Amino acid sequence: MTDTGPLFLSSGDLIADRRYQWALDQATRGDLAGAADILVQALELAPQFAAAWFALGEIRDRLGDRSGAIVAFEQARDAGPEDDHGAQLQLARLGSGDVTPAMTETYVRRLFDQYAARYDAALTERLAYRGPEILRDAVGSVMRAGEGALRFGSMLDLGCGTGLAGAAFRPFVDWLVGVDLSPAMVARAAAKGLYDRLATADLQRFLAAGAASAARYHLVVAADVFVYVNDLRPVVTAIARMLAPDGIAAFTVETHSGSGAKLLPTLRYAHGAAHVRDAVKNAGLALAHLAEAAVRTEKGVPIDSLVVVARPSTAMPAPVTSGG
């Protein structure tokens, strides 16, 4: 998900803000060099204008000026410690600095707040997103292999977004909880009336608080969430602490043929199968299902993904199926 448009945060200087908007208009008309010149003028008025530095980095990148783009993105990063625009990710994409930086909470929240109004239509109509249904089928196959029914007392929808996964699993769950970092996404989910409880919170902090309070779930689902996470091990371990003894964790990731995590040109993370296996094992879970699938497309091309179902290693897992 990258098609969100520019994020504007005022510089506090009205003239600099106007020049910023003028520069974006020029860029839209195809005058990239002119847009870059106008942004430089805006930055002379407001040197800490993170949005203008970021826009300048994007335009210089489009002009083929890699070194100039890196300088601009570094300035954007340093001007805004919360990295609202994702400058660290752009630097990583250009091969500068940390190659797998963690996405800041502020960046992810603003990204999804911007996207919330058109999220459902974009995923289901333009990106052919099938993640929730694929996860439901994978969980169902594990339950049938263990001679169990697809029925859960409680489910946590981690990174619930607007409730697409909640809708897929709601008929099979008695108590459904959703949590997401974006208030706008949670508001969209609430309007659907699917959830018994919704929370707006950072996922790791929510999981830590739940584990401390002894909250346990029979099913934890994370559909198209971990593409925004650079290291799976901490979050999968946190999920394991929230599972009931016979609970199930199910999630999707985009994948690649190498090892570890890889930042893609889409500014989403792909995780190698070995990294997924390692994260599951280190969390004290056992794989019950690991299979390749195309849960969405990008410009009409299926995206290589993995569908993962795991349960506490003390439980008796169903045979692992794997394409990865």
Residue 9 has a pLDDT of 73
Dig out the tokens for 137 from the structure. 């089928």
Task: Compute CA 269 distance to the chain's CA centroid, rounded to the nearest angstrom.
Answer: 8
Q: Give me the residue label for tokens 């169902």.
A: 140
Say how far apart CA 40 and CA 47 lie, in whole Å.
9
Q: Which CATH class is domain 14-99?
A: mainly alpha
Q: Quick one: pLDDT band at residue 1, thresholds 50, 70, 90?
A: very low
CB 147 within 8 A of CB 267: no
What torsion do the CA atoms of 209, 211, 216, 218 make, to the nearest 10 degrees? Answer: 100
What phi and psi values does residue 175 have, to the nearest 5 degrees? -130, 115
Report the amino acid identity of residue 10: S
Domains 14-99 and 117-312 fall in the same CATH topology: no
Average pLDDT over residues 295-320: 83
Residue (of 161, 162, 110) closest to 5 by Cα position: 110
**Which of 1-10, 49-58, 149-158, 218-227 is predicted with the least confidence, judged by mean pLDDT?**
1-10
Looking at per-residue pLDDT, the higher value among 242 and 322 belongs to: 242
Residue 4 has a pLDDT of 44
What phi and psi values does residue 287 have, to the nearest 5 degrees? -70, 130
Residue (of 56, 60, 63, 69) closest to 95 by Cα position: 69
Say how far apart CA 72 and CA 91 lie, in whole Å.
10
Task: Provide CATH code, domain 117-312.
Answer: 3.40.50.150
* 101-142 pLDDT, tens digit each: 999 999 999 999 998 999 999 998 889 999 999 999 999 999
* 146-204 pLDDT, tens digit each: 667 789 999 999 999 999 999 999 999 999 999 999 999 999 999 999 999 999 999 99
Q: Quick one: pLDDT band at residue 2, thresholds 50, 70, 90?
A: very low
* 8-54 pLDDT, tens digit each: 677 888 999 999 999 999 999 999 999 999 999 999 999 999 999 99
Answer whether residue 298 shows pLDDT above 80.
yes
pLDDT, the chain, mean: 92
Phi-psi region of 12 (alpha: psi -120 to 50; beta: other; left: phi over 0): left
Q: Name the residue ranges covered by the structural domains of the chain.
A: 14-99, 117-312
CB 301 within 8 A of CB 251: no
H-helix or E-strand containing 106? helix 105-115
